[in-house]
Structure 1
């Protein structure tokens, strides 16, 4: 585990808020030079603290007004490999994330759809027809607040 100082934590907080900031702009806010800021960011990336920078799309603005978290229990464990299920479910464009979890369900999926009838179509025609798909539980997202998580 890498040792983080206050400057590292400040850089991480700033990048969580806006990952598009240049090292120069970020350095000016922190009172550091561009090269010093860049070296710190690079060190955090090399150590695996920063895993990448992602573009977050607004699903609603793109016409996907419904987000559903779907718990999926595999029907025939042992007959269908986890890799086969993961590969098949990951190929469905409406499935945004696939998480293998411990608990009542084997997988937690984040699914976007245009509306509830579109979600029903995706569920019936795509997800429930997957090899090994068994019991499911759907939770419709009502609102979401983005929390950056602990930085220390």
Structure 2
């Protein structure tokens, strides 16, 4: 699906997403026109799904991140849908993942401090629908975060 030119362009884009098409093309060894056409095709094909800003939530005063693992009461026909719909309404929930296995859903929750997290947990998290079991894991450090693909 991807040829060498696409891979070179994507590598350059991953290394410097704010660079102009001209700069990316130069670094990839192709013309700006070819790069623009390839990026357009990669967008149409769904390979490139857009560019976005990554905001450091710690710089905005959030110092706590907790990973919450939930097992849901699956006797309710809409347990997953109801839970996810309600979890999306909590602004401090920054990620929702679903799984097969003992854990059904994982939420990544941020808070300003432990008091804020405690309030969130009591008032917003444990009131989510269809919870059978919850396990909290407090994150101490992020050792690797890399969205770049090995192209």
Normalising by structure 2, report the TM-score: 0.88
Distance 1:134 1:18 in 2: 44
Are 1:26 and 2:24 an aligned pair? Answer: yes
Distance 1:43 1:142 in 2: 41
1:97/1:77 Cα in 2 relative to 1: closer, same or farther (>3 Å)? farther
Distance 1:43 1:35 in 2: 12
Are 1:147 and 2:146 an aligned pair? Answer: yes
Offset at residue 33 of structure 1 (A) = 1.8
- 2:131 aligns with one of 121, 130, 133: 133
Offset at residue 108 of structure 1 (A) = 0.9
Q: Are the counterparts in 2 of residues 80 and 132 from structure 1 also a CA contact under 8 Å? A: no
1:138/1:21 Cα in 2 relative to 1: closer, same or farther (>3 Å)? same
**Alignment map for 1:79-94 (pairs within 5 Å):** 79-94=77-92
Partner of 1:112: 110
Say which is worse superposed, 58-67 or 139-148, in terms of deviation.
139-148
Distance 2:17 2:149 in 1: 17
**Alignment map for 1:51-62 (pairs within 5 Å):** 51-62=49-60
What is the root-mean-square deviation in Å for CA atoms of aligned residues?
1.8
Q: Are the counterparts in 1 of residues 76 and 130 from structure 2 also a CA contact under 8 Å? A: no
Say which is worse superposed, 6-15 or 97-106, in terms of deviation.
6-15
Moved over 6 A (4+): none
Offset at residue 17 of structure 1 (A) = 3.0
Distance 2:14 2:103 in 1: 30
Count of aligned residue pairs for this structure pair? 150
Offset at residue 48 of structure 1 (A) = 1.4
1:21/1:60 Cα in 2 relative to 1: closer, same or farther (>3 Å)? same
Distance 2:75 2:58 in 1: 36
Offset at residue 149 of structure 1 (A) = 4.9
Unaligned runs of at least 5 residues, structure 2: none
Q: Deviations over 1:16-39 (max 9, x none)?
A: 233222211211222222221111
